[in-house]
Structure 1
Amino acid sequence: MSNTEFKMPKMGESISEGTIINWLVNEGETFEEGDILLEVATDKVDNEVPAPASGKMLEHKFKAQDVVPVGEVIAILELSGEKGIAKPSNKSSEKAISKTSTSAEKKKIEKSSSSSSKSFKINENVFISPLVDSIARKNHISYEELARISGTGKDGRLRKSDVSNYLVNGRPFQFAQAVPEVSGFQVPDLKFDKGKGKIVEMDRMRQMIADHMVFSASTAPHVTAYVEADLTEMVHWRNKNKEAFQKKYNEKLTFTPLFIECVAKAIQDFPMINSTLDGKNIIVKDDINIGMATALPSGNLIVPVVKNADKKNLNELAAATNDLVGKARDNKLKADETKGSTFTISNVGTFGSLMGTPIINQPEAAILATGIIKKRAEVMEREEGDTIEIRQMMYLSLSFDHRIVDGYLAGSFLRRIADYMEQFDTNRKI
């Protein structure tokens, strides 16, 4: 333990002083790294100043409403392990969950009745510090699940220890049902009969997949768009050239590299689809890395990634996809081969599905599902008149994050993929 002078931090190039709004940790109280010690107002924005390490508040040098110059000692702390000078946290960039308020002040958490109970109350307001948010993302804890945890910090704020203890206790509220507020109507406690049978414990990968899917579904507002594509020309070309392709490149020619090629072209036409939401900023990715949802022998799902797909020709794409799929089936994928995807394709047609509504592979903005290629009688418009022909048809479905992708962009992008598939060059040389 060591006594440390805690100084008014610098909150911008032109800021020389700040007004203490209020202290959130009183003298004699303990705190943890990342806990907010006080709120400070400047002429530009309000800030919340976190603790640089765990410790105890020994003395306040100034009180609420005092105007203090930057660099002035405002408190004496007893720290258990210094980790540097605390930096202010801009309230406009903090993450909060609230059904009725967007104010960053006086965020309160309703206490749930018991940390060991399987029922809970959804908290109307939850403040999430950058430290807690980092822990949640690392462990795939959604904001909705965070709202179920009791906070022990000032005004019910979530602390690092609250989340750590919750994880140690096995995440009791992960799949719990909310306890309704007392009102004229009560949701009945339906004690479902789950039946009897063989109990199969989820392995670690299945648990991670479950967490990832719940996190994605609760984080991004999913919308799915559909188009139908005529793949007749592509199918005929592939059937005609697959043997020669394998003989020339020693690679099996599946539809996957052909689909990836079309998707990469469409992404170049609509780069905003190749993006990620970071707070209030949208990051449009420079690289086009296509993830391929692949089933493992165990039945679990993994997403190996074809890096820089837009810069590879067809034989390079075929080699990359065959190599990754082979490694996936043999459980030989390296960690780097499953990271960095910017857009994902899920070929649900492999299992005979007509179409699918895939869940976005976070933190991407969209995911494409390709259905089964099926022969159907279609009306074709010809110069000599309409004809009924047997065509190779496939449904494409695009699930997208409606926070950053609107219907026009999603629909245009999806239609462009279908166009590239339909306008396949049958005179193409291998």
Structure 2
Amino acid sequence: MPKMGESITEGTIINWLVQEGDSFEEGDILVEVATDKVDNEVPAPSAGTMLEHKVRAKDVVPVGDVIALLELSDKVANAGTQTSEKTTQQSTGESGKKKSLPKKKAATTTKSISANAINEHVFISPLVDSMARKHHISYEELARIQGTGNEGRLRKSDVVNYIKEGRPFQFAQVVSENNGFKIPDLKFDKGKGKIVEMDRMRQMISDHMVFSATTAPHVTAYVEADLTDMVTWRNANKVAFQKKYNEKLTFTPLFIEAVARAIKEFPMINSSLDGTNIIVKDDINIGMATALPSGNLIVPVVRNADKKNLKELAESTNELVSKARENKLKGDDTKGSTFTISNVGTFGSLMGTPIINQPEAAILATGIIKKRAEVMEREDGDTIEIRHMMYLSLSFDHRIVDGYLAGSFLRKIADHLEQFDGKRSI
């Protein structure tokens, strides 16, 4: 199992693309591996033959474990790579014949006996089973945890987060058929039409959104900001900026810059809830909701945004957007965000009410920048002028963020955008 990011310790086998006994060419994709939201393809280092799969689809495998035995071409064998030698030593005995290695224990499936369980057919891997035994978590309790893995699989991170939340389902009672509330089985007419099966990422997005909406009491605050000075400056300098730094100057790094400054002034917004404790994050890592070619959304992360200048922010955002469009994002690219921005204006929306990207405390939506006639107060009297206006909306978790903090933070972002220095050098 290759290492697919600094913080990645395991991966889930999605699908074997080369079966046992099949040959392959250099660069052919052997297996698809999932790490959180990002799917990774593992290419063949050279031409060869697939001898044996050591793990199966849906198995969760630690980084560094053997997942398959390959017979590579003479070209690679003669190169004397350590990987080939190590694999040969592990898979052959003194006589040179292939040993029969012990099979990996198959994951088990358990069915919840609860009438209101979240997942009645939860898939429990050996790793999750081991964690459950260590913390004395029953299978019924596991069945109530919302899995974020492939086909609703419970991942290690799901169990870790559940434990951090104080095990809210620990004392949940079984609801009998004759007692207690049951979700009514309403027979809606869903109509007829083309059936489009949700892909793995769309299912995960769905699970995350439902979890966030039902866990955090969402409140949304709105302000509007006059971006005329910023728009004028950006239009006047974008060509020179690209010539000087070979980077496009979009509005995204300018928004991230303003948000990072506001977070430093209101650090409590940069937090997460851990049971009854609030964790105020040391780092300011800004996630930016980005569309993939499939139409799904993913949130790559600009790390330490408060410590980057505009050139560095432009480099980071452009690189992440490019990798997202080309499906080249790695696991580490989407981890560790502490606050998220969703630019709904990209799609022409005036404003939005975004759902919080758990486990963060808030998320900002920036609407379309639109020219409007505005009354401007001048020393010599009021005037009507054409201004570039934008709505900003902040959805926040009312468990840990009150209206005063949210309103003050949102207003501060708008202030930074409105007070943009139009004489700023690039």
TM-score bracket for this pair, using the shorter chain length: 0.5 to 0.7
- Checking the alignment, whether the CA contact within 8 Å between 2:269 and 2:406 is kept in structure 1 is yes
- Checking the alignment, whether the CA contact within 8 Å between 1:374 and 1:393 is kept in structure 2 is yes
Query: SS of 1:229's equivalent?
Result: strand
For residues 303 and 330 of structure 2, what CA distance do their matches in structure 1 show? Answer: 14
Paired residue type of 2:423: N
Aligned match of 1:326: 322
Deviation (angstroms), 1:335: 0.8
Q: Root-mean-square deviation (CA), in Å?
A: 3.5
Q: Does residue 159 of structure 1 match 2:138?
A: yes
Q: Does residue 195 of structure 1 match 2:191?
A: yes
Q: Does residue 222 of structure 1 match 2:222?
A: no
For residues 152 and 300 of structure 2, what CA distance do their matches in structure 1 show? Answer: 29
Aligned match of 1:3: none
- Checking the alignment, whether the CA contact within 8 Å between 1:347 and 1:369 is kept in structure 2 is yes
For residues 237 and 303 of structure 2, what CA distance do their matches in structure 1 show? Answer: 25
Give the direction of change, closer, same or farther, for the CA distance of 1:180–1:396 in structure 2 (3 Å limit): farther
Identity within the alignment, %: 78
Aligned match of 2:165: none
Aligned match of 2:277: 281
Give the direction of change, closer, same or farther, for the CA distance of 1:162–1:383 in structure 2 (3 Å limit): closer
Structure showing greater radius of gyration is: 1
- Checking the alignment, whether the CA contact within 8 Å between 1:121 and 1:180 is kept in structure 2 is no
- Checking the alignment, whether the CA contact within 8 Å between 2:256 and 2:305 is kept in structure 1 is yes
Query: SS of 1:228's equivalent?
Result: strand
- Checking the alignment, whether the CA contact within 8 Å between 2:364 and 2:392 is kept in structure 1 is yes
Query: SS of 2:328's equivalent?
Result: coil
Q: Which moved more, 1:197-206 or 1:420-429?
A: 197-206
Give the direction of change, closer, same or farther, for the CA distance of 1:428–1:211 in structure 2 (3 Å limit): same
Deviation (angstroms), 1:346: 0.2
Aligned match of 2:373: 377
Deviations 1:112-134 (A, max 9, x none): xxx689x94589xxxxxxx9xx9
For residues 385 and 177 of structure 2, what CA distance do their matches in structure 1 show? Answer: 60
Deviation (angstroms), 1:218: 1.3
Aligned match of 2:304: 308
Deviation (angstroms), 1:229: 0.4
Deviations 1:226-250 (A, max 9, x none): 0000000000000000000000000
Query: SS of 2:329's equivalent?
Result: coil
Aligned match of 2:267: 271
- Checking the alignment, whether the CA contact within 8 Å between 2:351 and 2:367 is kept in structure 1 is yes
Aligned match of 2:401: 405
Query: SS of 2:224's equivalent?
Result: strand
For residues 189 and 201 of structure 1, what CA distance do their matches in structure 2 show? Answer: 22
- Checking the alignment, whether the CA contact within 8 Å between 1:355 and 1:370 is kept in structure 2 is yes
Paired residue type of 1:212: H
- Checking the alignment, whether the CA contact within 8 Å between 2:225 and 2:391 is kept in structure 1 is yes
Paired residue type of 1:163: L
Note the residue ranges of structure 2 that are not aligned, 5 or more in a row. Answer: 1-110, 119-123, 154-174
Query: SS of 2:249's equivalent?
Result: coil
Give the direction of change, closer, same or farther, for the CA distance of 1:379–1:180 in structure 2 (3 Å limit): farther
For residues 266 and 188 of structure 1, what CA distance do their matches in structure 2 show? Answer: 46
Question: What is the 5 A alignment of 1:10-409?
Answer: 120-121=115-116, 159-160=138-139, 163=142, 190-409=186-405
Paired residue type of 1:346: S
Give the direction of change, closer, same or farther, for the CA distance of 1:188–1:304 in structure 2 (3 Å limit): closer
Deviation (angstroms), 1:135: 6.2
For residues 412 and 192 of structure 1, what CA distance do their matches in structure 2 show? Answer: 44
Deviation (angstroms), 1:400: 0.5
Query: SS of 1:216's equivalent?
Result: helix
Query: SS of 1:317's equivalent?
Result: helix
Give the direction of change, closer, same or farther, for the CA distance of 1:314–1:188 in structure 2 (3 Å limit): closer
How many residues align? The count is 285
